[in-house]
Chain A
Amino acid sequence: MKSGQGEIVLTAERFFAEQYGFDEKMAGGALSKLLGGPIDDGDLYFEYRTNEALQIEDGIVKQATRNVTQGVGVRANSEAKTGYAYSDDITPGSLEIASARARAIAATGAGDQSVAVKAPRRAHDLYPVDQPTTDVPLETKISLLEEIDRQTRAIDPRIEKVIASVTTEHKLVLIARADGQVVGDVRPLTRFNVSCIAADGDRREQGYAGAGGRQSFSMHADRSGLAELAERAARQAIRNLTADDAPAGTFDVVLGPGWPGILLHEAIGHGLEGDFNRKGTSAFSNRIGQKVASPLCTVIDDGTLPGRRGSLNVDDEGTQTQRTVLIEDGILRGYLQDRLNSRLMGVAPTGNGRRESYQDPTFPRMTNTFMLAGDSDPEEILRSVKRGLFAQEFGGGQVDITSGKFVFSASEAFLIEDGKITRPVKGATLIGNGPDVLTRVSMVGNDLELDHGVGTCGKEGQSVPVGVGLPTIRVDGLTVGGTR
């Protein structure tokens, strides 16, 4: 496809062929060295990534950063064992050294299995790229940041500080698998962030909002979207200026639609990742077919939503992504799998094998995780609560997958008194037990929303982009970590 700049966006296959001389011989040669003997599976993961970041602070555009990262990760599996290595050079020689290192997991010497490399395969096309997001001229990005800065300040004179940033990524990957399959993907990623400080007398509070996804940059340049971003950040800071301390103890909690779906990510999603369940270290181990949620709850992980931050055409092992039902009408149906764990558990991979970069090993990870909408009117859900908490924005969360205990921290919350939202309260951490929390869901709204495209999931020190979604829900009896 032609871009506005007259450049051609290359397919991953052509890019690695032209840049590094990647061809069937190079892939076949390295795979043959890697495989054979006790090695059951393995792959080569070629990556070329450009990241650009730009920030505006107090109206001055600064911190232009442009990083280029290239390399190849090599992996060998033998039963439950994984050997992996990487090289920052993409040459036949460095591939050979990396293959030898990856093979060190097996007690034998060089590999000897010949691998015939097949023609590249096409998967989904969830995020067509008309121009690498990192090639959008700096001037275009600068004018958008100036617009966000201006709009955030215009909302209230108490906004005294604004920092806005845009980060873009253009990532090409090419995966050569043990079965000779070669799969490429070109992955765009953009994210806008705005954070601001509001001050009133001695009191200062912050507000934050973000938006993004795997889309062509022009999709983000929509001015009304930026105005909404500015509005969300500024309102949060202003609202928190008058927030009271949050209460402490057990309350009925109403979670608003969208980003509060982080509840599902922490409480359910991590515990359903295949590696933990194969090893029997998750609170959800051996619970397929059991009731783990109220019948109102159906939870999905779906890597095939067009343009979403957590979506992928193929996962980082070249498996096509899919829609996986995790919980159906309250019953646990499935786990999230990569190749290694699905092979060992005797089930099909689900397209959830992910790695942050060629330098990292692959694990089962979430993509976009959300709960399907129910029948209740969101107003009716609020009206049903006598005394409780309504939370609509959250910071991060964390889970102990073995005990099942999880937390997630509200950044914007309100007291509900006699069915009405009364006053804002300070953010507080909510804590619960994963296998138990969804059994307490007593109402599910008809207003499913996906988040704005800001999620980043951490596991084993690796960060990958993810999405979440939720309709308005009522959870009976959740512990709220306030101070009074």
Chain B
Amino acid sequence: MSSVPKLTERSMDLDRARDLVTRAQRLGASDADVLFVEGDEFSVTVRRGEVEQLHGARSRRLGLRVFVGGQVATGATSDTTPGTLERLVSDLVANARAMGTDPAAGLPSQADVATSPPDLDLDDDIFERLSMDDRIALARRAEEAATGADPRISNSDGSTFAFDAAHRIYAATNGFAGEYPSTTYSLVSRPLAAENGEMQRDYYYTVARHFADLEAPDAVGAEAARRTLRRLGAQKPATGEVPVVFSPETASRLLGAIGSAASGAALYNRASFLLDRLGESIAAPIVEIRDDPLEVRGLGSRPFDGEGVATRSQAIVSGGALQTYLLDTYSARRLDARSSGSCRRSTEGSPSAGPHQMRMTPGEHSPEDIIATIDNGLYVTSLIGHGMNLVTGDFSQGAAGLWIRGGELAESVEECTVAARLQDIFMNIEMIGSDLELKRTVSAPTLKIARLMVAGQ
């Protein structure tokens, strides 16, 4: 295989970023901030022994926000030549002047910005030394482990090794300027299984900041095959109210609802089922939830938030009671509160508040122990659809998984739904698993819900 073409020099640094926001002030802005992200991305997919797709590129993007008092405009470009940036600044100042005045708009105060951002060990530059053959071999090994696991593995959507290396630079006219590199490595395997005319698919993945923290390709492929095979023989279950166990994947999806409903925009838009619930009980007393962006090598970790405010580890739910909302500077001003360092920002559009790295604290029970407590119920391994209303908490999504009989996993089930109000789901968490996985930015372990409506036959 040919080698990877050499990388070019970086097109932005802290000084140029500082200059750009100062320039915006000279052109009429009262304040401005800029986020610049430059990176390398790579992916290779091997499917049934053949390299099917290979992709490599270097990208860069700059997002600029200007304030004229309480008037705001944002813009983004990938062209960082001085002439284009000068034009972008003037256009944004003109656009801001056409806006209404929003008294909550503005940068964080100097007192709120991070003074000594920690080193969270978020990057690993080994990708520069991984040859093309090394990269392909990782995907190939996972694919072979998946497709060779069982004769019923009949086909595959392929196995993909990918990485993304990004360098972020942020500067604002309140004096804050900071930068940090980060990398993400991942390996996913997606086999298909067939038996008696039925076809099923599933997947398994590993993802980490550091290459050495990835699970072994053979293990990824083997687990993907195991998950796919257990879906064969799927039946449509009967309609009824039963105890339901959510796997870590699906429990994390439920936890994401708390993250969104407790975040700035949902609150000032009065579009959240957690509105006016601060200090109140929103989940069973055994539930503890934290946001921890300071975890070393964490996938959602960051040394400062999207507007330079210091990030912090904080309790969102403690003893089942809601402890804090997740706010950035803007939503904090709207709600007459203080920023919780929860600003998330991409180069496109306006920043918004939300969790960085949300974790439900694991319990003591293994998933097997939890399943053993149920005589007749549903173990959900997959949820599909968008049936989640954060205003009301109404939840209804398609589910697939395994039926639980006499405390053990039995036949595969599909084409059913689980539905309830999210408020009731969280209040009825009866057991929490010990199997918290760190590979998601929002992560919950296995959860047992006392009873839920399952619609099927």
Q: Closest approach, in angstroms, between the C-beta of A349 and any C-beta of chain B?
A: 19
**A329 CA to B5 CA in the complex, in Å?**
53
Cβ-defined contact, B56 with A161, below 8 A: no
Cβ-defined contact, B397 with A68, below 8 A: no
Binary interface encoding of chain B residues 83-102 relative to chain A, with 1 for a CB under 8 A from any of its CBs, else 0: 00000100110011011111
Which B352-401 residues sit within 8 Å CB-CB of chain A? 384-387, 389, 391-392, 394, 396-398, 400
Q: Closest approach, in angstroms, between the C-beta of A208 and any C-beta of chain B?
A: 11
Q: In this assembly, does A325 line the interface, its C-beta being within 8 Å of a C-beta of chain B?
A: no
**A480 CA to B239 CA in the complex, in Å?**
10
Q: In this assembly, does A107 line the interface, its C-beta being within 8 Å of a C-beta of chain B?
A: yes
Cβ-defined contact, B398 with A431, below 8 A: yes
Cβ-defined contact, A281 with B386, below 8 A: no
**A105 CA to B456 CA in the complex, in Å?**
46
A66: contacting residue among B95, B99, B269, CB under 8 A = B95
Q: In this assembly, does B448 line the interface, its C-beta being within 8 Å of a C-beta of chain A?
A: no
**A67 CA to B65 CA in the complex, in Å?**
11
Cβ-defined contact, B56 with A428, below 8 A: no
Cβ-defined contact, A248 with B453, below 8 A: yes
Which B46-90 residues sit within 8 Å CB-CB of chain A? 47, 50-61, 72-79, 88
Cβ-defined contact, B1 with A107, below 8 A: yes
Binary interface encoding of chain A residues 244-287 relative to chain B, with 1 for a CB under 8 A from any of its CBs, else 0: 00101110000000000000000000000000000111010000
Cβ-defined contact, B99 with A64, below 8 A: yes
Cβ-defined contact, A283 with B56, below 8 A: no
Chain B contacts for A432, CB-based, 8 A? 415
Given known pairs A88-B59, A483-B419, the reply for A403 and B414 (CB within 8 Å) is: yes
Cβ-defined contact, A249 with B239, below 8 A: yes
Cβ-defined contact, A407 with B349, below 8 A: no
**A226 CA to B201 CA in the complex, in Å?**
44
**A65 CA to B54 CA in the complex, in Å?**
34
Given known pairs A65-B350, A70-B79, the reply for A407 and B50 (CB within 8 Å) is: no
Q: Closest approach, in angstroms, between the C-beta of B18 and any C-beta of chain A?
A: 23
**A100 CA to B56 CA in the complex, in Å?**
10
Chain A contacts for B286, CB-based, 8 A? none
**Chain A, residue nearest B71 (CB):** A62
Q: Closest approach, in angstroms, between the C-beta of B331 and any C-beta of chain A?
A: 12
Q: Closest approach, in angstroms, between the C-beta of B210 and any C-beta of chain A?
A: 23
Given known pairs A66-B92, A70-B78, A206-B389, the reply for A101 and B56 (CB within 8 Å) is: yes
B52: contacting residue among A57, A81, A407, CB under 8 A = A81
Given known pairs A104-B2, A280-B155, the reply for A398 and B386 (CB within 8 Å) is: yes
B419: contacting residue among A60, A398, A482, CB under 8 A = A482
**Chain A, residue nearest B74 (CB):** A65
**A274 CA to B387 CA in the complex, in Å?**
29
**A36 CA to B416 CA in the complex, in Å?**
51
Chain B contacts for A204, CB-based, 8 A? 270, 275, 391-392
Cβ-defined contact, A67 with B55, below 8 A: no
**Chain A, residue nearest B199 (CB):** A402
Cβ-defined contact, B417 with A429, below 8 A: yes
Size of the B side of the interface (Cβ < 8 Å), in residues, is 80
Cβ-defined contact, B78 with A88, below 8 A: yes
A433: contacting residue among B53, B397, B415, CB under 8 A = B415
Cβ-defined contact, B95 with A161, below 8 A: no
Binary interface encoding of chain A residues 307-328 relative to chain B, with 1 for a CB under 8 A from any of its CBs, else 0: 0000000000000000000000
B76: contacting residue among A68, A108, A408, A481, CB under 8 A = A68
Chief secondary structure at chain A's binding surface: strand
Cβ-defined contact, A407 with B95, below 8 A: no
**A105 CA to B234 CA in the complex, in Å?**
38
Binary interface encoding of chain B residues 123-166 relative to chain A, with 1 for a CB under 8 A from any of its CBs, else 0: 00000000010000000000000000000000101000000000
Chain A contacts for B216, CB-based, 8 A? none
**Chain B, residue nearest A85 (CB):** B57
**A88 CA to B57 CA in the complex, in Å?**
9
Q: In this assembly, does A87 line the interface, its C-beta being within 8 Å of a C-beta of chain B?
A: yes
**A206 CA to B391 CA in the complex, in Å?**
7
Cβ-defined contact, A139 with B98, below 8 A: yes
Cβ-defined contact, A67 with B348, below 8 A: yes
B455: contacting residue among A67, A109, A405, A482, CB under 8 A = A482
Cβ-defined contact, A484 with B386, below 8 A: no
Which A219-246 residues sit within 8 Å CB-CB of chain B? 246
**A77 CA to B258 CA in the complex, in Å?**
45
Cβ-defined contact, B53 with A85, below 8 A: no
Q: Which of B77, B100, B398, B417 has the most CB of A within 10 A?
A: B398
**Chain B, residue nearest A204 (CB):** B391
**A316 CA to B156 CA in the complex, in Å?**
27
A138: contacting residue among B53, B95, B269, CB under 8 A = B95
Q: Closest approach, in angstroms, between the C-beta of B269 and any C-beta of chain A?
A: 6
**A367 CA to B176 CA in the complex, in Å?**
46
Q: Which of B88, B234, B418, B419 has the most CB of A within 10 A?
A: B419
Cβ-defined contact, A142 with B98, below 8 A: yes
Q: Closest approach, in angstroms, between the C-beta of B397 and any C-beta of chain A?
A: 6
Binary interface encoding of chain A residues 395-407 relative to chain B, with 1 for a CB under 8 A from any of its CBs, else 0: 1111110110111
Cβ-defined contact, B392 with A429, below 8 A: no
Q: Closest approach, in angstroms, between the C-beta of A44 and any C-beta of chain B?
A: 14
Chain B contacts for A405, CB-based, 8 A? 384, 398, 400, 414-415
Q: Which of B95, B391, B416 has the most CB of A within 10 A?
A: B391
Binary interface encoding of chain A residues 43-56 relative to chain B, with 1 for a CB under 8 A from any of its CBs, else 0: 00000000001000
**A66 CA to B89 CA in the complex, in Å?**
11
Q: In this assembly, does A193 line the interface, its C-beta being within 8 Å of a C-beta of chain B?
A: no
26 contacting pairs across A/B (C-beta < 8 A) = A61-B100, A62-B102, A63-B74, A65-B350, A67-B76, A68-B78, A84-B54, A86-B57, A98-B57, A138-B98, A199-B270, A206-B271, A248-B453, A361-B55, A398-B384, A400-B384, A402-B199, A403-B400, A405-B400, A407-B398, A409-B387, A427-B387, A428-B387, A429-B387, A479-B416, A482-B455
Beyond A69-B78, A105-B54, A479-B455, 7 additional pairs, beta carbon < 8 A: A53-B349, A64-B96, A101-B56, A248-B417, A403-B414, A427-B396, A482-B396
Residues of A within 8 A of B (CB): 53, 57, 59-71, 80-88, 97-98, 100-101, 103-105, 107-109, 138-139, 142, 160-161, 163, 197, 199, 204-206, 246, 248-250, 279-281, 283, 359, 361, 395-400, 402-403, 405-409, 426-429, 431-433, 479-484
